[in-house]
Amino acid sequence: MTHADTGRTPCIEERLAAARDYAPRYRALVPGFGPLPSIPLAVVTCMDARIIPSHILGAPEGRIQVMRNAGGLVTDDVVRSLVVSQRRLRTREILVLQHTGCGMASFTDEDLLAEIEQDAGARPGWAPGAFGDVEASVRDGVARLRACPWLVDATRVAGAVFDLADGSVRVVA
């Protein structure tokens, strides 16, 4: 079976084959994994494949909790995941880590919603969350988490921007 546009095998099948090759390496890592993350940190970040939180933050594989979405936004679902992470997995610190050059800064909510409505005949009941200023977006996410009544009282929350050009991290909140 090949992909009609490229003549290639569909990428899902390729990635599942790679997963079979990964299994022995994973089994070698498992003895070091406990039921709780060994680093009590949850990271909210973008789904951009260039963002690899464990590498950026110098954390061994499988040791921190990572919540990803378009833009690394603090959405209702991210809050839900963080509450579970804290109350069942004992994370106590949260880092909102967005990045320069994010695609969420390349359009407006209205533009995307209009496109969806034109194609699908209806607008979704959610907002895409596009933003123009990544630092302001990080600060907004941090403020939302600091005001959240469901997180553990002792929670520390910080925000930073990862620079895709040079790999640096700039703390902004």
Q: 128-166 pLDDT, tens per residue?
A: 999 999 999 999 999 999 999 999 998 999 999 999 999
Q: Does residue 89 share a domain with residue 6?
A: no
Backbone Cα Rg of the chain: 19
**Mean pLDDT over residues 94-119, rounded?**
98
* pTM metric for this prediction: 0.89
Tell whether 57 and 7 lie within a shared domain: no
CA angle 91, 148, 44 (to 5 degrees): 50
Both 91 and 7 in one domain: the answer is no
Do residue 89 and residue 112 come from a single domain?
Answer: yes
Query: Do 15 and 62 sit in the same domain of this protein?
Result: no
According to the model, what pLDDT value does residue 29 have?
77
Q: How many domains does the chain have?
A: 2
The band of 8, judged by pLDDT with boundaries at 50, 70 and 90, is low
Which CATH number does the domain housing residue 47 bear?
Answer: 3.40.1050.10
Quickly count: other Cβ atoms within 10 Å of residue 46's Cβ.
22
Q: Decide if pLDDT at 38 tops 70.
A: yes
In this predicted structure, the answer to whether residue 1 has a pLDDT above a threshold of 50 is: no
Domain membership of residue 105 as a residue range: 34-171
**Is residue 3 pLDDT above 70, yes or no?**
no
Instruction: Tell how many helices (H) and how many strands (E) occur in the chain.
Output: 5, 5
- Residue 86 and residue 63 in contact, taking contact as beta carbons nearer than 8 Å: no
Span 39-62, average pLDDT: 95
- Contacts with 67 (C-beta within 8 Å, 6 or more apart), sequence order: 42, 43, 44, 45, 78, 81, 82, 85
Same domain, 43 and 80: yes
Based on the fold, state whether residues 55 and 118 are members of the same structural domain. Answer: yes
Share of the chain above pLDDT 70, in %: 94
Helix 76-89 with 134-146: angle, nearest 10 deg: 50
- Tell me, yes or no, whether 92 and 125 share the same domain: yes
pLDDT of residue 7 exceeding 70? no
Does position 65 have pLDDT exceeding 60, yes or no? Answer: yes
